[in-house]
Amino acid sequence: MSRQAVIFIVNPNAGRKRSLTDFEYEVMSFIDLTKFDPHFEYTEYRGHASEIVSKYINKKFKFYIAVGGDGTVNEVATQLINTDFSLFIIPRGSGNGLARHLGYMLTLEESLIKLNKSVSKKIDTATVNGLSFFCTSGLGFDAYCAQLFDKNAGKRGLINYIKIALKGWFSYRSLKIEFNKQAYNSLYSITFGNANQFGNNAYICPKAIIDDGFLDVSIISPPKTHQVPGLLLKLFKGNLDESRLCEYYRGKTFEIKTSSPVQLHLDGEPHLLNTNTLIFSILENSLHVLI
């Protein structure tokens, strides 16, 4: 049986720092070399992962392994939508939302052992105005924190995100939007989930199922300071939808209108779209993953 080529697209700045030589040595030690033929590529700038995948897709390579955080995963997976090529994730980011939802392991050795036994299945993906996301996208406080986090050059990780969220709590101003023709004059956040969490097991859309053909939506009203601990407890326990501060919806398409362009995030990466209308949609069974 011939070996299948697998392309490792590695963000060298993500996660615990190890030399690239050590990384490749570990891969070669634990991957099934009778089944797979590893190739290694390293990203150098934002958007580079997409360029790398595009190059190999033109050569008909079938398997792509994103080694990094949700941003790297987004770049790789975007190129694989509605193709016959498959994604695998070795999580090395701050949140690893999609990887956690899909049950990928958080260590390199465990990930490669899982890869050796993996099979392909289809999952849903999602878009906002044609831009892809695979885990979550939203407006409001989480998008504001994503923007602050992105500006925090060189300082990643969960602890730094917590610090930024605490800082953002005092400077954030609530959002005014129209959601599916219903007006919200003071909204804390609105999150669309293809997967059930931001990352770090923070279940913002706890009922989301990644292959059911639906987007889940979690709308949070502005909490008072004394309500924040209870809201966070429900976020991490996976029952946020039971909070009196939360409205929860499921559907295939949603529309948001704003008075001016607003900041949003795609899988934790900040974006500002030059439009007052946002259309969020689900794409059913549009991505092959190895799982």
pLDDT digits (tens, 9 = 90+) for 207-216: 999 999 999 9
- Who has greater pLDDT, 2 or 109? 109
Q: Is the pLDDT of residue 221 over 60?
A: yes
CA distance 103 to 155: 26
Residue where a domain stops, chosen among 118, 139, 173: 118
CA distance 170 to 30: 47
Q: Is the pLDDT of residue 239 over 80?
A: yes
- Who has greater pLDDT, 159 or 142? 142
Q: Is the pLDDT of residue 140 over 60?
A: yes
Average the pLDDT over 276-285 and give the result: 98
Residue 216 and residue 250 in one domain:
yes
**Residue for token digits 């990466």?**
269
pLDDT confidence band for 160 (50 / 70 / 90): confident
List, for residues 242-268, the tens digit of each pLDDT value: 999 999 999 999 999 999 999 999 999
List, for residues 67-109, the tens digit of each pLDDT value: 999 999 999 999 999 999 999 999 998 889 999 999 998 889 9
**How many residues are recorded in the chain?**
291
pLDDT at 32: 97
Quote the distance between the C-alpha of residue 14 and its chain's center: 14
Q: Is the pLDDT of residue 158 over 80?
A: no
Q: Is the pLDDT of residue 282 over 80?
A: yes
- Who has greater pLDDT, 149 or 242? 242
Q: Is residue 97 part of a domain?
A: yes
Residue 209 and residue 278 in one domain:
yes
List, for residues 50-62, the tens digit of each pLDDT value: 999 999 999 999 9
Residue 112 and residue 246 in one domain:
no
pLDDT at 157: 60
CA distance 8 to 41: 6
Residue where a domain stops, chosen among 62, 96, 118: 118
CA distance 135 to 233: 21
- What one-character-per-residue DSSP string does 233-288 give? HHHHHT-GGGSTTEEEEEESEEEEE-SS--EEEETTEEEE-S-SEEEEEEEEEEEE
Q: Is the pLDDT of residue 128 over 90?
A: yes
pLDDT confidence band for 167 (50 / 70 / 90): confident
Average the pLDDT over 153-160 and give the result: 62
CATH number of the domain residue 31 falls in: 3.40.50.10330
How large a percentage of the chain has pLDDT more than 90? 84
Residue 186 and residue 259 in one domain:
yes
Token pair for 36: 């797979």
Q: Is residue 290 part of a domain?
A: no
* Weakest-pLDDT range from 166-175, 179-188, 202-211: 166-175
pLDDT at 155: 58
Query: How many distinct structural domains can be found in the chain?
Result: 2
- Who has greater pLDDT, 254 or 160? 254
CB 66 within 8 A of CB 89: yes
SS (H, E, C) 60-127: CCCEEEEEECHHHHHHHHHCCCCCCCEEEEEECCCCEHHHHHHCCCCCHHHHHHHHHCCCEEEEEEEE
| Secondary structure class of 158 (helix, strand, coil) | helix
Q: Is the pLDDT of residue 114 over 60?
A: yes
CA distance 122 to 287: 5
Residue 260 and residue 179 in one domain:
yes
Provide the residue range defining the domain that includes 198. 131-284
Average the pLDDT over 30-45 and give the result: 97
pLDDT at 14: 79
Residue 69 and residue 166 in one domain:
no
pLDDT at 153: 57
Residue where a domain stops, chosen among 96, 118, 140: 118
H/E segment holding residue 165: helix 158-171
